Amino acid sequence: MTSDELSWIIHLATLLLLHRSARHKSNKTSPKGTLLFLSAGILCLAIAQASTSASVALQTDSSTPATITHAFSLHYRGSFNTAPAQSSTTSVSLSFLNAFAFIVETVCLNGAVWLHSSHATANGLAVGQPSRVSVIGNSLLLVVMAGTGFASWGLGMSADTPSERYGSVLQDHVPSRVVYTVFRACVVVATASVAGEAWRRFAQVKAHSSRQASERPILTRLALLAVPVLILRSIFIVLDIALLWVSNTYPNWSYTTQEAIAFLLIIFGPYAEIWVFAIVCWGGWSMSKLRKGEGAEHDMVMSQSSRG
């Protein structure tokens, strides 16, 4: 083997090593985990809202109130005709379908916000995220949320009230109500955890990354547009739980009061969740686009350098 051939082989091996090393460094954390939570959460949110709309449509002209949340039901004024038996049975089924989808959607929302903030931080600072403490703590909260939510749903299904909707079961069946209250309390705690972590990630990236970092606007949107909405949502979750434990006073309130409470619970319930999902979805899409763009640009640069 001549010296020229040996030099050519060494040069080629050096280029391959540099190419592999640079590719490894240019690869950023994939938002696939965030997108998985997003997909499941948005699907369940759509199912929950569709079942709520169908249930309200069936109950508007019946003698039973329309469920706004699992804790609050709005007693409509006007015609209270007796609903067909099929509508009543359908309303019961829809209420339990709504509860199941609501539990899954709530868990996915918290998981999406948590992973999204961690992945954006990892890409912005080139550090490993989420940390082990974050993984253990937030995973435990998600598991407890799912466990208590499905336990409440299962207790409601097994309660000896086959003709009652899920909201009515919560009001009449104390074990289901207690477990459901624990579930909602876990939601508040988990929301505070992911909101605080998102804000810390935003401050961390803002302090230690360049102004040109592509992840800065992603975390800015999350911290300034999504976190305040999550906090307001938690406040109204507490109100919703309080209403569940004083449910017998609903008929004694004025219709205007009931409408106002229903409006606030809707605005800071499903609408807030749609808003947060939209912010996280925007950020996840931006991260995917940036990752593909940087990968294609890097491949082009390395291809040109290898030709040279």
What CA–CA distance (Å, rounded) separates 102 from 5? 67
Per-residue model confidence (pLDDT) at position 26: 42
Q: Where are the beta strands (DSSP E) in 34-193?
A: 66-67, 73-74
Containing 133, the helix (H) or strand (E) segment is helix 132-158
Residue 73, classed as helix, strand or coil, is strand
Q: Which pLDDT band holds residue 126 (cuts at 50, 70, 90)?
A: low
Q: Is the pLDDT assigned to residue 18 strictly greater than 50?
A: no
Q: What are phi and psi of 27, to 5 degrees?
A: -65, 130
Give the model confidence (pLDDT) of 140-184 as tens digits.
Answer: 999 999 999 999 999 998 876 667 888 888 888 889 999 999 999
Q: What is the mean pLDDT of residues 133-143?
A: 89
Least confident of 126-140, 151-165, 232-246, 276-290: 126-140
Residue 219, classed as helix, strand or coil, is helix
> Residue 260 is encoded by which pair of tokens?
């106002």
Structure letter (DSSP) for residue 74: E
Give the model confidence (pLDDT) of 53-81 as tens digits.
Answer: 888 787 766 666 778 888 888 776 654 45
What CA–CA distance (Å, rounded) separates 151 from 186? 13
> Residue 229 is encoded by which pair of tokens?
């909405």
Task: Tell which residue, 208, 202, 207, 206, has the closest CA to residue 227.
Answer: 202
Q: Which range, 130-139, 256-265, 282-291, has the best average confidence (pLDDT)?
A: 256-265
Task: Tell which residue, 232, 211, 231, 190, has the closest CA to residue 37.
Answer: 190
What CA–CA distance (Å, rounded) separates 100 from 161? 18
The two most distant CA atoms of the chain are separated, in Å, by 99
> In 164-214, which ranges are continuous DSSP H helix?
166-172, 174-208
| Cross-strand bridge partners of residue 74 | 66
What CA–CA distance (Å, rounded) separates 219 from 156? 39
Per-residue model confidence (pLDDT) at position 145: 95
By CB atoms closer than 10 A (0-12, 13-18, 19+), residue 80 is middle
Cβ contacts of residue 301 below 8 Å, gap of 6+? none
Q: What is the mean pLDDT of the chain?
A: 78
